[in-house]
Structure 1
Amino acid sequence: MPGELKDAVPVVPLHEWKGAAGRLSKLGGSTGRPDFVVRVPGRVNLIGEHVDYCGYGVFPMAIEQDVFVAVRLVQSGRGSGPPRLILTNTATDQYPPFSCAIKDVREHLSLRRPGESPPWHLYYLCGVLGVLESLGLEGKLEGDTSFEVVVDGRVPPRAGLSSSSALVCAAALTTLVANKGDMTRSDLASLCAQSERHIGTQGGGMDQAIAFLATAGTAQRIEFLPTLSGEKVTLPPSAVFVIANSLVEANKAASDGYNVRVAECRLATWVLAKALGVADFLSLEKVKELQVALGVSLDEMVALVEKHVRKEAYSAAEIAAVLCLPVATLAEKPLMNRIPLENLKLKLYHRITHVLKEAARVAEFHTACCSPSVDLARLGGLMNASHTSLRDLYECSHPRLDELVGLAQGMAYGARLTGAGWGGCMVALCDEGQLAPFLEGLKNKYYSSEGDEGIQKHVFVTQPGAGASILE
């Protein structure tokens, strides 16, 4: 059992979770009581967007909304074929059932159609495949034990709150438990970050890290280099964080936008490294790796970008010329071969400038939270600056998100998009005195067409929640 390993995912009595009995009944369905249940939370990132895949730290916390997964091990009998994975979602009207032989998981993932929103079961298969690979069991499971899995997700989908990554993490954890594997929380987080890339997006690991490392009552300052680590940070007691859904669905796996941003940051790293005479610059994958190699500060990195990376967009041919590479060779590089590189105008200056200044904002936000005299206006100002940068430099916001963030100005200390963007949610910071008028303002000015239930359905106040657990 993973809970027996030091720093493993904790094993928690099922009755400790609010509403667990009702959910267990719902999860059991017609298959009877499950052999075990796992729970993985969603998350909200307070600041530090689009920097994890560049190697820089982030500042998320787990939320109450979560994914519950119940697993029942079923003896299918001799002659019934290889072990199967049988998936059911409690929201069957949105997420149809799926079943396949476990040996065929990789094949089903390979059938994913780029440019389309992946069906929900593919995210589950990512987690399954990641653990089977790690345990050396891919294609090797024998016997007559199949896995009946029922999923109950409470994280709003396509809202930038990590519903997809929570499902990947839950799938990995259930597969680990079912196969009696051992893995630390950090190792599981890293494995899930890698395995989610089977879906096509080149994420950086924040969502998976907070899913496993979160602790109730604290946010986390998560760093990725030189290794994954998390520092618990107690948020100011006077701070209230409100999450509001823009009602614009965001799915980073359904388009090239996310991967293009990752590629632009890598290209900016190469262009800057080449200009500075860094040997073997093509081995660099993250902006922070270059910063560490140069031994300079974030401010000094910004100055180097100003000097060596032009503000105008580049074509692929222009970047190839700077790097002294044939365009075809550049287009075949890992990650570059996942996007329509030669058809894009690549805004390297804008992207890397956002990353460096956002990394500095994360550090300042952390310092401000740890200060004996907390200034909520300072924290809010950093959140506002983050959103402005995401809107103007990273160009990953949406007009409805901008409207929502704009409404928060004057009613809250600050607000910003949270998650990858292009829709999804805003997170706003206020205090107890601002909360009621803020919620009323959102109800009247943004959710008026949703009726009286709109504010209850699409807006919630959140506190730092616990990370993944195995429930017994």
Structure 2
Amino acid sequence: MADVEEPVPVFTSLQGVYGKGDTLYEAQSRYQRLKTKFFETYGHIPDLYARAPGRVNLIGEHIDYEGYSVLPMALLHDTIVAIRKQDANNNHQTVRVVNIDNHKFPGFVFPAEPLQEVDRSKHQWANYVLCAYKGVFDHVKAKGLEIKTPYSGYDILVDGIVPMGAGVSSSSAIVCASAIAIMAAEGLNFSKREVAEFTCICERHIGTQSGGMDQAISLMAKKGVAKLIDFNPIRATDVVLPRKGAFVIANSLTVSTKAVSAASEYNYRVVECRLAAMVLAVRLGMALEGVQNVNTLSDIEGLCIAFADARGESSPLLAVETHLHEKPYTAHEIEDVIQRAKHVFSEAQRVYQFREAVLSSEADDVKLRRLGNLMNESHTSCSKLYDCSCPELEELVKVCRANGALGARLTGAGWGGCVVSLVEEGSVSSFLESLKKEFFRSRIDSGRIKEEDLDTYAFASKPSGGAAILNL
């Protein structure tokens, strides 16, 4: 876990990040395009690059913001930010942001001033870069470091291949990559833990009350292993997955954009969970002055366990079922609060059961069945108790299980996005072919997606490495 206190790694070659073979060749071509586009746009080449990966959460959904551990892994799909510090003699310092796909994502210019507010009424992609910009200088100020003012301007070019609105953290990849690029351009480097913490906080300028999983895995990921991420403080422990298993990520093609839907869906769940925690705190005898400081269900887990222990049981769910049914709430409101709390406590247990199964001495095939069952239970809880699924996700989960997935569940915030499936490694090709026929074929025939793009909508993945600075 000591690696969370290490600084963000700096590489002088792409091989250190992308390895060898086709992956390296693709990266070399991509970085060269980025360098050329940067010169065409700004008249200079970049000073440096930064990259941050997307992620898939294997288990532990909607519990990071409740203080509970999660178990994600990083994807090879990443966002790259090329950056150059503007000349100091420029009297009009700005932050100029361009996307390599400037037809879909128009450019943006904002003042070189960290105190400016993010306009939440305009859901533009560059807001994530602005969040990162603010976050870096907020952190610099909090650490008591001095930066010359007026603030420097930057020329920035972004290239992201993390699927957007798919529940695999494209937004946090932009924030993390932008933050470490600006940090590095200022000659600074902070620990992975620090960057994970301040990027989680700064992303809330967009309006999403995220819990920190996305940023933590993007910064702390290590090639070949998933990570058990603990919070308060952030810690990351390697989880070596069974060799005979593979994870396939498939896109439901229903967009889930947290920054747009946060007020009505994602953030509402945060409020429901806090309400459940405060009600339980009162009913379990916490002094009122203490209740005011209760923010998450993990804050009162000890009281719930003590309540259960006194009655010869061990699960915190007993307190939920006993106490979350009092006035002045309506029956419908209380039902929602009870369901949310049940999901959080049971999902938190599944995360550790997943890790225990991985660490067991059982044969790989037995482990894989146990892991698959936990993933299936997680999806049922997300769908039935947390109400964050949608018809397309349900259809895709059904198709995955019918075609050999040992476990399949929605991943990410839900309400659209992706399904992650656990399959036997030798069955990946046939599994992907089945998804193409039974889920994606109708979408291809209707013209919704192109067949040649199918690899971006369904793919197998092994755990990838984390964020990095590249001086090329």
TM range (shorter): 0.7 to 0.9
The answer on whether the counterparts of 1:157 and 1:163 sit within 8 Å (CA) in structure 2 is yes
Counterparts in 2 of 1:281-430, with a 5 A limit? 281-292=291-302, 296=306, 299-310=314-325, 318=329, 347-373=336-362, 374=364, 375-410=367-402, 411-430=404-423
**Shift in Å at residue 415 of structure 1?**
0.2
**Shift in Å at residue 344 of structure 1?**
7.3
- Quick one: which of 231, 234, 248 aligns to 2:237? 231
Structure 1 residue aligned with 2:141: 136
Give the partner amino acid of 2:395: E
5+ unaligned residues in a row in structure 1: which ranges? 320-342
Rate the CA distance shift 1:87–1:208 in 2: closer, same or farther, 3 A. same
Q: Secondary structure of the equivalent of 1:63? A: strand
1:72 maps to 2:93: no
**Shift in Å at residue 206 of structure 1?**
0.2
Structure 1 residue aligned with 2:45: 33
Structure 2 residue aligned with 1:259: 267
**Shift in Å at residue 141 of structure 1?**
5.0
- Quick one: which of 241, 250, 263 aligns to 2:247? 241
Q: Secondary structure of the equivalent of 1:242? A: strand
**Shift in Å at residue 76 of structure 1?**
5.9
Distance (whole Å) between structure 2 residues aligned to residue 193 and residue 388 of structure 1: 28
Structure 2 length normalisation: TM-score?
A: 0.87
**Shift in Å at residue 372 of structure 1?**
2.0
Give the partner amino acid of 1:245: N
Rate the CA distance shift 1:140–1:76 in 2: closer, same or farther, 3 A. closer
Counterparts in 2 of 1:148-167, with a 5 A limit? 148-167=155-174
Deviations 1:153-194 (A, max 9, x none): 010011000000111111211121122233210111011111
Structure 1 length normalisation: TM-score?
A: 0.87
Structure 1 residue aligned with 2:278: 270
The answer on whether the counterparts of 1:418 and 1:424 sit within 8 Å (CA) in structure 2 is yes
Give the partner amino acid of 2:73: M
**Shift in Å at residue 371 of structure 1?**
1.4
Structure 2 residue aligned with 1:102: 112
Distance (whole Å) between structure 1 residues aligned to residue 456 and residue 305 of structure 2: 48
Q: Secondary structure of the equivalent of 1:46? A: strand
**Shift in Å at residue 84 of structure 1?**
1.2
Q: Secondary structure of the equivalent of 1:174? A: helix
Structure 1 residue aligned with 2:21: none
Distance (whole Å) between structure 2 residues aligned to residue 173 and residue 93 of structure 1: 26
**Shift in Å at residue 107 of structure 1?**
3.0
The answer on whether the counterparts of 2:279 and 2:324 sit within 8 Å (CA) in structure 1 is yes
Alignment: residue pair count? 435
The answer on whether the counterparts of 2:304 and 2:319 sit within 8 Å (CA) in structure 1 is no
Rate the CA distance shift 1:161–1:442 in 2: closer, same or farther, 3 A. same
Structure 2 residue aligned with 1:442: 435
Q: Secondary structure of the equivalent of 1:446? A: helix
**Shift in Å at residue 74 of structure 1?**
2.1
1:469 maps to 2:468: yes
Structure 2 residue aligned with 1:340: none
**Shift in Å at residue 432 of structure 1?**
2.4
Distance (whole Å) between structure 1 residues aligned to residue 63 and residue 433 of structure 2: 33
Q: Secondary structure of the equivalent of 1:152? A: strand
Counterparts in 2 of 1:184-223, with a 5 A limit? 184-223=191-230
Structure 2 residue aligned with 1:169: 176
